[in-house]
Amino acid sequence: MDGTIVTPRERLRACVYCNKSKTKCIWPSEQGDGGCLRCVRLSRTCLVGSKKAETRRRGPGTRVGQLEEKLDGILSLLNASHQLQHTPFSSESPSQPSPLSSAPDVYSASVLDPNTLATFDHVDIVPGLRVSFAEAERLLALYRTDYSPHFPFVPIHPNISALELFNKHPFLFRTIIQIVAPQSAAVQRDVVQWFRGYIAEHVVVNLEKRLELLQAIVLFIAWGDVHFYIESPATTLLQLAVGLVTDLGLSKPPKIPGNAPSHMVDEARRVMGLRSRTPHGLEDMRTFLGCFHINSTAAILFRQVPMLPYCSYVTTCCDALEKAQEYDSDALLVSAIRLQCILCRTKAAFPSPDVDNSANVSFSVSLAMTISSIRADMDTLRRAAPMNIRTHWSFDMCYQGTLVRLYEPAMYMRASSLSGDYDSGIRRSEALSCCLDAIKAVFESHAAIPLPELTYLPFPVYSHFTFSVVSATRLLFLSDSDWNRQLACRSLDFPTVTQRLSDRCEKADDWSVGEEWRRKRRFVDDARSVMAMYRDKLRWIGSWSAAKMGASSTDEPQIDHDARNPDPSEILFPIDIDDDWWQAVLEGNHHDQTDDPAGLTR
């Protein structure tokens, strides 16, 4: 280390040895050529480091090199675009199409890296999906007004333009555009392949930890046609999302005031030269809550293992967002998450019947008290919500769907005729009746959804509707001493309800056909849209229930649920499903119900 002999004028600074050992450098009061007291005592030559060598450059000067590199990159893009515009078309060989005009069968994520496919006036999502920035502005505005309010975990500020969002978060920009932009069924398949490949390369291979990646995964699952009741292609994405939450430290506060172990960790990170944990912003909190919302919904409603359970920091984030009021949609976000926390309590109080063997549990007084307590908390939350949130169909459907999940476990508990406790039978009958009322309320909320918004429901809202359909098919045909299914079928005319719901799906699909030029129409395959699939499934379930109700009125013969005649609850739930069933029902066509109203011969 370079240094100089200490002079009186330099004694204002600590010497090299005291600075290195982090001790106080004490100079003698008398002026002279000697060193500090510590160096004199240890017989060392007292040196003071050069000010110029150790002075750290601060301010804008440290970014000059970075700004120059960015300017060079921008000039390179402009020059390349200028050369392309002045290149004659005859110079291109017609036998060599542009890689952006035709989709290859197999392509890697690096070929479609969001940071490499930008041109001056447009951007390519995947081969076959190219949008100009003027069109991107329209699509981004459509996302703000029609999509984000129903899933407000990744809002985009109105003052941010499409070009600014692309320059700052290119992958998030592309994810939002593919959610909204019109595209064919083939392009939609290419988008899914590109998205999963990009996430795998950057998260698994490159070990990148960016909030942008987590936001993109959350949005992709929310509107990505990932049907948990059919298969689980999003399970890996959910696991990667949970891993990003952990790596980014979003599931716990970065620093707990007054916590001594936390201070020790921060001090250790400082000594080791590591960057200290920064406080979470509102954007971080929204993304964490969005990941928690999707994970808990999949775990509780679809019998999946929870990967991101509830923690006290969820409440902390809700309080911070409610206090800040940065976006109007934050009010719906906070209400939805608080309702989701109550849903997590129902999971803890009433475990899954197909996992925890709750069929041997009687409907005891303690369980009835637990249900009453949770129901009271739900009612209190609803009354405390703003009027525009309380009356919104999205919140109302999630509220009624949570009630269905609260009372639904009573179907799997032991009947009073088996336990001998007839008081528990009365309580169980009341719970089953409340479950039926909640199911009817869910269907009424679904009927109140405007047809345009029915075509782009996010995953959590649709999940509650799906779970209610499943619960209805089980509850209406429950053969139990504590339940009267004839009265239940008269209370809920299920074939009529499913017919009305399927008709709405058909009308919504017709509306999406007319809007296909300006927004995405989601497809299952090349021949059928997602709304058409919902229509066919609801019609099939309605025909099945009508056939079973007719059979129940004549000595109640049992219908054999084989591969060609499955229980409709299994259409939406992965329980003991074999390959023949998948091929006959999920991949089969139930378009025409005229010749076979029950749908039993297909």
- Given a cut of 80, whether residue 56 has pLDDT beyond it is no
Across 56-70, 178-192, 407-421, 497-511, least confident range: 56-70
pLDDT tier at 33, thresholds 50, 70, 90 = low
Higher pLDDT, 231 or 171: 171
Query: Which pLDDT score is estimated for 357?
Result: 56
Q: What pLDDT was estimated at residue 194?
A: 93
Stated as kind and residue range, the H or E segment containing 602 is none
Residue with the bigger pLDDT between 498 and 579: it is 498
Summarize pLDDT for 200-232 with one digit per residue, the tens. Answer: 999 999 999 999 999 999 999 999 865 544 455
Residue type at 416 in one-letter notation? S
Helices and strands (H, E) in the chain, number of each type: 27, 4
What's the whole-number average pLDDT of the chain? 77
- Given a cut of 90, whether residue 340 has pLDDT beyond it is yes
pLDDT reported for residue 552 = 62
Two structure tokens written together for 204: 């698994």
Q: From CA 191, how far away is CA 196, in angstroms rounded? A: 9
Q: Do 165 and 177 form a contact (C-beta atoms < 8 A)?
A: no
**Lowest model confidence (mean pLDDT) among 43-47, 103-107, 170-174, 530-534:** 103-107
Residue 406 has pLDDT above 70, yes or no: yes
| Residue 512: band (very low, low, confident or very high) from pLDDT cuts 50, 70, 90 | very high
Q: Report, as an integer, the average pLDDT of 426-445.
A: 94
pLDDT over threshold 60, residue 505: yes
User: Does position 177 have pLDDT exceeding 70, yes or no?
Assistant: yes
What is the full DSSP assignment across 398-434? HHHHHHHHHHGGGGGSBPHHHH--HHHHHHHHHHHHH
The 3-state DSSP class for residue 47 equals strand
How do residues 531-589 score in pLDDT, each as one tens digit? 999 999 999 999 998 998 876 655 444 434 443 344 444 444 433 333 343 333 333 33
Cα–Cα dist 168/162, whole Å = 10
Written as six digits, the tokens of 218 are 């959350």
pLDDT of residue 273: 60
What is the pLDDT, as a whole number, of residue 117?
47
- CA nearest neighbour of 115 among 73, 69, 160, 145: 73
d(CA 41, CA 11): 17
Across 173-178, average pLDDT? 96
* Average pLDDT score over residue span 301-327: 88
Which of the four pLDDT bands, split at 50, 70 and 90, describes residue 170? very high
Q: What is the pLDDT of residue 122?
A: 84
Residues facing 483 on adjacent strands:
480
**Is pLDDT at 272 greater than 50 in this prediction?**
yes
Q: Per residue, what are the HEC states of 199-216? A: HHHHHHHCCCCCHHHHHH
Question: Average pLDDT of 262-280?
Answer: 63
Beta-sheet strands, E only, within 108-222: 122-126, 129-132
The predicted pLDDT at position 218 comes to 95
pTM (2 decimals)?
A: 0.72
Return the H-helix or E-strand segment holding 4.
strand 4-5
Closest-CA residue to 82 (of 120, 118, 115)? 120
Rounded distance between C-alpha atoms, residue 542 and residue 348, angstroms: 33
Q: Give me the pLDDT at residue 588, please.
A: 36
Quick check: 581 and 566 in contact, CB under 8 A? yes
Contact (Cβ atoms closer than 8 angstroms) between residue 423 and residue 262: no
4: how many CB neighbours lie within 10 A of its CB?
11
Q: What is the pLDDT, as a whole number, of residue 328?
A: 92
At residue 384, does pLDDT exceed 50? Answer: yes
The separation between CA 186 and the C-alpha centre of its own chain, rounded to angstroms, equals: 24
CA distance 198 to 166: 16
Nearest CA to 436 out of 413, 466, 408, 395 is that of: 408
Res. 258: pLDDT tops 70: no
pLDDT tens digit sequence for 128-158? 889 999 999 999 999 999 999 999 999 999 9
Map residue 63 onto helix, strand or coil: helix
Q: CA Rg, the chain, in Å?
A: 31
Residue 31 has pLDDT above 70, yes or no: no
pLDDT above 80: residue 97: no
Q: In this predicted model, what pLDDT tens digit does every residue of 349-365 receive, in sequence order?
A: 876 665 555 556 778 88
Please give the distance of CA 7 from its chain centroid, rounded to a whole number. Answer: 65
Structure confidence at residue 278 as a pLDDT band (50, 70, 90) = confident
pLDDT at 480: 85
Distance of CA 430 to the CA centre of its chain: 35
- Distance, in Å, from the CA atom of 284 to the CA atom of 324, rounded to the nearest integer, reads 14
- Tell which phi-psi region holds residue 577, choosing left (phi > 0), alpha (psi between -120 and 50) or beta: beta
211 CB-near residues (< 8 Å, 6+ apart): 248, 283, 284, 287
Does the structure show a pLDDT above 60 at 421?
yes
563-584 CB burial, b ≥16 within 10 A, e <16: ebbbbbbbbbbeeebeeebeeb
> Using CA atoms, how far apart are residues 530 and 518, in angstroms rounded to an integer?
17
More confident residue, 445 or 412: 445
In this predicted structure, what is the pLDDT of residue 28? 79
Q: Please, are residues 350 and 409 in contact by the beta-carbon 8 Å criterion?
A: yes
- pLDDT for the residue numbered 341: 95
User: For the chain, what percent of residues have pLDDT higher than 90?
Assistant: 45
End-to-end CA, the chain: 85
Highest mean pLDDT among 68-77, 192-201, 592-601: 192-201
Highest mean pLDDT among 186-200, 245-259, 298-312, 349-363: 186-200
| Per-position b or e across 143-165, b if 16+ CB within 10 A of its CB | bbeebbbbbbbbbbeeeeebeeb
Task: Work out the number of other CB atoms within 10 angstroms of the CB of residue 502.
Answer: 20
